[in-house]
């Protein structure tokens, strides 16, 4: 695999093979080998619930364990130490069938103790939608996050050949295709868990 340079990213964008919309500042957001993405205005955090654990086999709605918060322009979402929240990129991204992408946190955010993805940094070929950010504060101080702020970067890598069944293919279980807001885990739809009986 090879990582796309800024020159190739611009060409893919100009040819609309990669779509990132809206790209507010073409020159400032495109880095030497990535594109900076901004954070949206909706955040999701876990409620305090009276259950011993979250069971991925439970048929109840996992989304009910979380609450959404909408942050007005100019206001901040404060993420406290050891807190976890979901958000999305402000931009909608479309990946072609012959590329994969990775979301990485910006170094400036990491130096504040903020991580932008826990395990969901990988984006499949064919994905289209806003990218979910799994945000954690592993630092000692609360940190303010502002809608529209650049918080992460997307890196594109070429594949040896286009995917036969990209994300969104009718035969693929693409649970998050076309998402427009932070989506809670849909793990209960995983085929191996659906086969198990809930006790």
CA pair distance 53, 34, nearest whole angstrom:
38
Please indicate if the annotation marks 149 as binding a ligand.
Answer: no
Please indicate if the annotation marks 107 as binding a ligand.
Answer: yes
Please indicate if the annotation marks 12 as binding a ligand.
Answer: no
Please indicate if the annotation marks 51 as binding a ligand.
Answer: no
For residue 66, what are the β-bridge partners?
Answer: 46
Token representation of residue 189? 């739809």
Query: Any long-range contacts for 10-14 (C-beta under 8 Å, 24+ apart)?
Result: 12/96, 12/99, 12/156
Please indicate if the annotation marks 29 as binding a ligand.
Answer: no
Please indicate if the annotation marks 112 as binding a ligand.
Answer: no
Please indicate if the annotation marks 38 as binding a ligand.
Answer: no
DSSP 67-133: EEEE--TT--EEE-TT-EEEEEEEEEEE--TTEEEEEEE-HHHHTTTEES-SS--EE-TT-EEEEEE
CA pair distance 49, 59, nearest whole angstrom:
16
Helix, coil or strand: residue 38: strand
Query: Is 83 marked active-site?
Result: no
Please indicate if the annotation marks 160 as binding a ligand.
Answer: no
Please indicate if the annotation marks 148 as binding a ligand.
Answer: no
Please indicate if the annotation marks 139 as binding a ligand.
Answer: no
Per annotation, catalytic residue among 134, 164, 183, 192: 134
Please indicate if the annotation marks 108 as binding a ligand.
Answer: yes
Q: Is the peptide bond before 22 cis (omega within 30 degrees of 0)?
A: yes
Q: Which residues carry a binding-site annotation for dCTP? A: 106-111, 124, 132-134, 153, 167, 175, 179
Catalytically active residues are 134
Q: Which residues carry a binding-site annotation? A: 106-111, 124, 132-134, 153, 167, 175, 179
């Amino acid at each position: 695999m090879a990582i796309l340079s800024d020159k190739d990213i611009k060409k893919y964008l100009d040819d609309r093979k990669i779509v990132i919309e809206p790209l507010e500042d073409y020159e400032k957001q495109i880095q030497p080998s990535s594109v900076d993405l901004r954070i949206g205005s909706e955040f999701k955090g876990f409620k305090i619930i009276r259950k011993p654990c979250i069971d991925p086999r439970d048929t109840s709605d996992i989304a009910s364990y979380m609450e959404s918060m909408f942050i007005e322009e100019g206001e901040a979402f404060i993420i406290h130490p050891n807190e976890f929240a979901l958000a999305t990129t402000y931009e909608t991204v479309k990946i072609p069938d012959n590329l994969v992408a990775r979301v990485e946190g910006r170094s400036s955010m990491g130096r504040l103790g903020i991580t932008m993805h826990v395990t969901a940094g990988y984006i499949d070929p064919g994905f289209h939608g806003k990218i979910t950010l799994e945000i954690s504060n592993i630092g000692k101080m609360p940190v303010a996050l502002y809608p529209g702020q650049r918080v992460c970067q997307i890196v594109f890598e070429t594949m040896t050949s286009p995917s036969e069944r990209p994300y969104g293919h009718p035969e693929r279980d693409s649970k998050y295709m076309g998402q427009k807001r932070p989506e809670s885990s849909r793990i209960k739809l995983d085929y191996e868990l659906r086969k198990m009986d809930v006790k």
